[in-house]
Chain A
Amino acid sequence: MKAFTSVSPRSLPDAVTALSRARQQGQHAIIVGGGSDALALIKERLIAPDLVVRLTGIRQLDGIARDSNGLTIGGETTLAAMARHDELRRAYGVLAQAAESVATPQIRNAGTLAGNLAQRPWCWYYRNGFTCFKNGGNTCYSAAGENQFNAIFGGGPSFIVHPSDTAPALVALDATFRIVGPKGERTVPAAQFFTLPTVNPARENALEDDEVLTSIHVPAAKAGMRSLYHKVMDREAWTHAIVSAAAVLRMDGNVCRDARIVLGGVAPIPWRLTEVEKLLVGQTMNDALIDRAAAASTTGARPLRNNAYKVPLVQAVVGRALTDLRA
């Protein structure tokens, strides 16, 4: 790896200043949380920063706080802390389960929520240094290459899949992302944080280079809300979702009052199944409805040469998530 300077500011303004100053001096500066993804990228020379600004020393970015509107989770909260947080586990099962499904205990102990959301794709071509959209090029090698793990929805011109487990959970929970940069603060709904390759094929989200994802707010759980995260992997640990489903339902007896179903592992962004949600709302949850929902979950899927198996897999995962939530 190329040598770099690492700084650990104690406050957010210090971090933003360090970033801006470095950039003004023409340096390549990046921000990292636990650094588990950044270090891998640096080692593979996919990025070669001069300055690494570590955010884990900033106390106010770490921790989960409750208020009348819900929970605020600091961007530097570790995935491990989220997975063992009582209220998250109880009221926002989808998010706790998603955090717990990431990688390995080591990585969850170091990896942060913001880092998990902003991690770079794990497409083989990107990680092996092909000059693709993500590496400064203007093509996607997976489109006509080995694409067994690539997108079946929303692909083009890049066919990566968004690798984060917490991302679909947060979109399903209708979370809001707080972002701080040199120009101040802004908040973005989770669904708008993640951006399609048609917006910019080089990036996966709306963060500017000198912005920090400081916290995530999830609204208060409503009565009757049930949720879960179902992740399909090709081994039992330490890998990304082939397909995952974050499902949040608000039930009134057997009747579904509200539904959010968001897929991971199938599109360049967390992929919300709006049509499936519509099909569920106001209906009694029974086998026939679940079958219809599962069948509808892949409407519009456009598999590539090697990933058609994701179509039945999505249907199975959606069906199972709904069946488990009904129980």
Chain B
Amino acid sequence: MTAHSLHPETWVDRYADYLYNYTITRLGDEELAKDLVQETFIAGLESAPKFKGNAAERTWLTAILKRKIIDQYRKANSKKGKAEVRMNFSENADRDEDWLEAMAADPDSIRENDSIENVELGLAIQDCIAGLPEKQARVFEMKTMLGMETEDICKELDISPSNLWVIVHRARSALMSCLNDNWFR
């Protein structure tokens, strides 16, 4: 196995979105997630000399982030954290009459878990994309997530359209076999 090395200058572009999504699924707070990702990068940089190279960069950063998330839970469960009053009324709370109704679960809803599941799905996809060769990952993201035009991608990456479609084909085939069969049921 080849030893891994760190390239902090590429961290934000390559891992920020992944780590951000990872945190949101666990804490459900975008502001907090942003801060934790930032802290993770800084902490990673500080402990870079201790990096032994036996894990991939992202795995290593995720491990740091995981500890920060756990700390966050601890803080929230400490005495001081418990003493804080956290109320989260829906956005229309000031329209006084119906906030209680708005907060009640809809018993007929079959979509209750959808948003959680979709973030998890997003993570699963990103996980698989991270396993692709860099060029395939880049092209796939530009085409699929950013919805860029073929022509624009070709210009930006200086490749021909047929070249692009070959790359897309490889990326899609790899993703199909990487994504757990559960998602394809």
A and B from one complex? no
**Which residues of chain A have a CB within 8 Å of any CB of chain B?**
none
- Which B residues lie at the A interface, using CB under 8 A? none
